[in-house]
Chain A
Amino acid sequence: MTNRTFFSHKPVWVYAALLQVFLLLGLPCFALAGAVEVEILKGEAIVGEDLAFAIKFEVDSDDELIDVSQVQYNGAPIPYEINSRSSSSFTMIINGKTVQSSNGLLKNYIFTLPGDQVGTLEIPAFTIAVGDKKYKAKALSFTVSEKPTSDDLQFLVQVKNPQAYYYPSQIIDLECKILYRNFKGSPAIENITLPILKNLSFDLLAEENPDFELLINAQRQLIKQQQATEMFKGKRYNSLTFHLKFRIMNHGEFNFENSLKMVVETGRTYRQPSLFFGYDVTRETKPVFADSTPLQIVVHELPQENVPPSFNGAIGSFKIKVTPSSDTAIRVGDPITLLVDISGRGTWEFVKSPPIDREPKITDYFIVSNEPVVGEVNEDKTMKSFSVRLRVKSKTVKEIPAIPFTYFNLASRKYVTVHSEPIPIQVFDATAPAKITDFGTAPAESQEPQELFNPNAPDGTTTPRAADIYQEQQLKPQLPPLIQISDNVASDETKMNHAPVYGQLTFALLPVAGVFLFYLFTLFKGRDISAEKSANSRAKKAYKTFEAGIEPLSSSDSNLSLLCAELGRGIHQFLEERYKCTLPYLNKETLLAVSNEKKIDADMIEKLMDLIEKVDQHRYGSSALKQEEALRLVEEAKEVLKKCG
């Protein structure tokens, strides 16, 4: 037999002490856990994908300083994003005012790490500071596995007709080919990563890529597609080919590693509970990756030697044509607008207006407007036009000299300069009246001027020469004609306010409100509120009350003395309500007193007194009442009171 002493219970005490210690130490730990928490969001990834973890803080306010600079990998802080939200908040309306209240703020610091190497990636233990407090976290471990690849999936990306190097503005045609075979079901492309699409040095030509959509870089892009079968390394594959055409916009050496992620079925199926009833059969899928060989594009800068001063970035093959779009007969200081048309083939983004302000033979004689010149490309994309404005400095100027335009020719890999035709102009003195002439060629017959005899002319005068007549005819201004439109209106008409004045709607409310008031008026106008009317109304009401009180008793086999008592009480109440008075006792004196005031008919008083006496007889008398008599009495009372009403 075991001797159970006090100490035999020791383990229980030990457990109790341990529990106490746990509660004392553990509760703050729980509280701490609530304040800062580290959660691994993505602990396993395939090489190339990102790993992620989050540190969650519960702070009192947004002002609290949080220091996560000690969260490092390979000695460098890990980049993060912050998401914050109120931990618990509520809104209530007090006295018409909206009051918002919240308890603390949850801040999520989401750290992402590129999983660029296969293996285990470890972040050493780190310390986080929240205000004055410091928290320690254990080391975090992540796993990066190799990309699952398969010979059955191939991704080929190559430049069609590649060159050793390119110059900006050249177009490259990227041919992308997805080859796949032996996959069960219908494999789905989850994403195609083409870094070239995100590189701003390459401009995707939208018009070259219509009609089909694929997921590229996680956003849909329009591309051409062509599906067929194709032999590759001795095996037949299904092939999906698409082309992407880019224009090179910058120089540099570009390396792109392209990859494809396809989701294929493994052939296995599993059941999972349906949202409503039963089970859904789901086909198991797995990702398969395919990397293409790295793509290298070398883009050289344009040659820096022997660059003509008139070069302004144009690459391709162009011609220049300059035409005056305003009058060519001007005064000193007047503007003259030139339309500079650059036509040819090339990248229009690179074609800018010829640098006229850098051309001494123009700047010596003209002031070039410093307004920004914006060109406009025509619909066919074969010509870009610029409008340039000059002001002539001197009246000795006879022409606008030829304007040079230099472009870099990709075929010859040289700079080529072309010139426009010079434009003759006529310049007058600024102070002279505007005598405007045109440089148009005179008609052939006026080439040899002849003096004509005018018989009507005064003696000693001759008619003007044919050339003079021609010149006079041409003295009209050579402005571009204005399209005829209706004329401007006078100032008086532009002062009125045409903006909507919603305040005027109150004028619509006034008549409506008026009618409503009128309706209310008529509603109460016909109402009879005389003393007689109200007395009648009271009588009806009192009779109804009386009837309602007496009816249940008279229709049942209840105590007849009770019926009489109720009948007496009912008549009393009726008379009080009917005549709006207080009757301490129900006898002839009190009724007569009321009748003087309320003008009760004497005959009616007699009838009432008869009725009251009969009721009192049965109520207080010794004679027993039969059922038939009682009912008759009730009917009589009803009849009298009805007449009274």
Chain B
Amino acid sequence: MRLTIQHFTVLIAVLLFIFVLNLTSQARAEAVDALSSYHQGLAAKTIGEREQALEKALQLYLVQYNKMKENGKQNGLLNYNIGNCYFNLGQNEEAIFYYRLGSKLLPKSDKIQANLAIALAKRKNAVDLESNALLENTLIFHYKLSTNQRIHILIFFALLAATSIAWLIIKPNITIRYTAILTSLALLCLSLSIGLEYYNPKHVGILMQSADVRRGAGSEFAPITPRPFAGGSSLEVLSLMDEWYQVRINDGRKGFVPQKSIKVLTL
């Protein structure tokens, strides 16, 4: 039998198929394994078993998380799963961090919001960043929608605006004119919202342990508040200086927190 180029093509295609199948099945097996470990942890009868199973689940989820991150991807529900593992392991601050990450990606997810609320309620004397309720309720699309959602709505409005403008060119009509104006305005607002977030992101730090906010970047500087900030508190992060984050607290004062005691997420 003579081997032709077609034979080689078929062989390569089969090998590629087997390789992809193997990869996907491996990934699925890991994910299934993580979920079953998590459930095993919840049903464990001793602390040791529980922690072992939950830690195993957490490790598997974190592997998936890191793989996705390397490829420039993120998944809100994966963050939620990681947050759950941390929560059940008693590491509430880490759980809050991952819930917030998940909430950023999927702000409308009831599961994430519910668990985040439980984790936040579990903190003691924690302080959160004050938000402007009026602004948040006015600019709902900016504060309550994820970036991806805004991008999708922007594409929709671009299509709508383009259609209405095209219509207006063909056959001018007062209704179509207002539609074109309104959709163009919506398009402008969404573009500004996405542009603002892209070029001027807001960094929020979650304290992983209770820490003092100090006047300078060093432990020799005096704290600016009489009491340290409790673990799980959120602060606005401004910059990083010599392993100390410069932060702003709610009354507008600036201070420094050690890098090791804070995890930063970008809103």
Bitwise, A211-225 to B at CB < 8 A (1) or not (0) is: 000000001011000
- A482 in the interface (beta carbon within 8 A): yes
Supply 14 A–B pairs (Cβ within 8 Å), ascending by A.
A327-B45, A477-B45, A479-B44, A479-B46, A483-B122, A485-B118, A488-B39, A488-B84, A495-B75, A498-B105, A499-B74, A499-B148, A500-B146, A508-B187
Partner of A491, one of B28, B45, B198, B222: B28
- B126 in the interface (beta carbon within 8 A): no
Are the C-beta atoms of B122 and A485 separated by less than 8 Å?
no
- B34 in the interface (beta carbon within 8 A): yes
Q: Write out the residue numbers on chain A whose beta carbons fall within 8 Å of the beta carbon of B32.
A: 491
Q: How far is the CA of A490 from the CA of B28 in the complex (A)?
A: 10
Interface centre among A483, A488, A490 (most CB of B within 10 A): A488
Q: Write out the residue numbers on chain A whose beta carbons fall within 8 Å of the beta carbon of B169.
A: 515, 518-519, 522
- B176 in the interface (beta carbon within 8 A): no
Q: Write out the residue numbers on chain A whose beta carbons fall within 8 Å of the beta carbon of B45.
A: 327, 434, 436, 477, 479
Are the C-beta atoms of A485 and B84 separated by less than 8 Å?
yes
Are the C-beta atoms of A511 and B162 separated by less than 8 Å?
yes
- B97 in the interface (beta carbon within 8 A): no
Given contacts A326-B48, A327-B46, 15 further A-B contacts (CB under 8 A): A331-B46, A335-B51, A477-B46, A479-B50, A483-B87, A485-B114, A485-B115, A494-B75, A497-B74, A498-B74, A498-B106, A498-B148, A507-B155, A514-B162, A515-B162
Interface centre among B27, B28, B47 (most CB of A within 10 A): B47
| Interface residue ranges of B12-38 to A (CB < 8 Å) | 27-28, 31-32, 34-35, 38
Q: How far is the CA of A486 from the CA of B84 in the complex (A)?
A: 8
Are the C-beta atoms of A486 and B222 separated by less than 8 Å?
no
Q: Write out the residue numbers on chain B whose beta carbons fall within 8 Å of the beta carbon of A200.
A: 220
Partner of B47, one of A204, A326, A487, A501: A326
Partner of B222, one of A221, A336, A379, A495: A221
Are the C-beta atoms of A500 and B34 separated by less than 8 Å?
no
- B11 in the interface (beta carbon within 8 A): no
Q: Given A200-B220, A221-B222, A518-B169: A494 and B115 within 8 A (CB)?
A: no
Partner of B226, one of A206, A434, A491: A206
Q: How far is the CA of A518 from the CA of B163 in the complex (A)?
A: 11
A635 to chain B, nearest CB (A): 45
Bitwise, B106-125 to A at CB < 8 A (1) or not (0) is: 10000100110010001011
Q: How far is the CA of A522 from the CA of B205 in the complex (A)?
A: 54
A199 to chain B, nearest CB (A): 10
Q: Write out the residue numbers on chain A whose beta carbons fall within 8 Å of the beta carbon of B166.
A: 514-515, 518
Bitwise, A188-224 to B at CB < 8 A (1) or not (0) is: 0000000000001000101100100000000101100
Are the C-beta atoms of B77 and A489 separated by less than 8 Å?
yes
- The chain B residue with its CB closest to the CB of A337 is B47
Q: Given A326-B47, A498-B106, A499-B74: A511 and B151 within 8 A (CB)?
A: no
Q: Given A206-B226, A436-B45, A499-B74: A491 and B31 within 8 A (CB)?
A: yes
Q: How far is the CA of A619 from the CA of B74 in the complex (A)?
A: 91
Q: Write out the residue numbers on chain B whose beta carbons fall within 8 Å of the beta carbon of A499.
A: 72-74, 105, 148
Interface residues, chain B, CB within 8 Å of chain A? 27-28, 31-32, 34-35, 38-39, 42, 44-48, 50-51, 57, 64, 68, 72-78, 80-81, 84-85, 87-88, 105-106, 111, 114-115, 118, 122, 124-125, 146-148, 151-152, 154-155, 157-159, 161-163, 165-166, 169-170, 187, 194, 198, 215, 220, 222-223, 226-227
Partner of A511, one of B115, B124, B158, B222: B158
- A505 in the interface (beta carbon within 8 A): yes
Are the C-beta atoms of B80 and A489 separated by less than 8 Å?
yes
Q: Write out the residue numbers on chain A whose beta carbons fall within 8 Å of the beta carbon of B78.
A: 494
- The chain A residue with its CB closest to the CB of B197 is A500
Are the C-beta atoms of B47 and A479 separated by less than 8 Å?
yes
Q: Write out the residue numbers on chain A whose beta carbons fall within 8 Å of the beta carbon of B223.
A: 206
- A94 in the interface (beta carbon within 8 A): no
- The chain A residue with its CB closest to the CB of B52 is A335
Q: How far is the CA of A574 from the CA of B182 in the complex (A)?
A: 53
Interface centre among A200, A330, A494 (most CB of B within 10 A): A494
Q: Given A485-B87, A505-B154: A207 and B226 within 8 A (CB)?
A: yes
Q: Write out the residue numbers on chain A whose beta carbons fall within 8 Å of the beta carbon of B159.
A: 508, 511
Are the C-beta atoms of A330 and B88 separated by less than 8 Å?
no
B84 to chain A, nearest CB (A): 5
- A504 in the interface (beta carbon within 8 A): yes
Bitwise, A309-350 to B at CB < 8 A (1) or not (0) is: 000000000000000001100110011110000000000000
Q: How far is the CA of A458 from the CA of B155 in the complex (A)?
A: 78
Q: Given A206-B226, A436-B45, A488-B81: A494 and B64 within 8 A (CB)?
A: yes
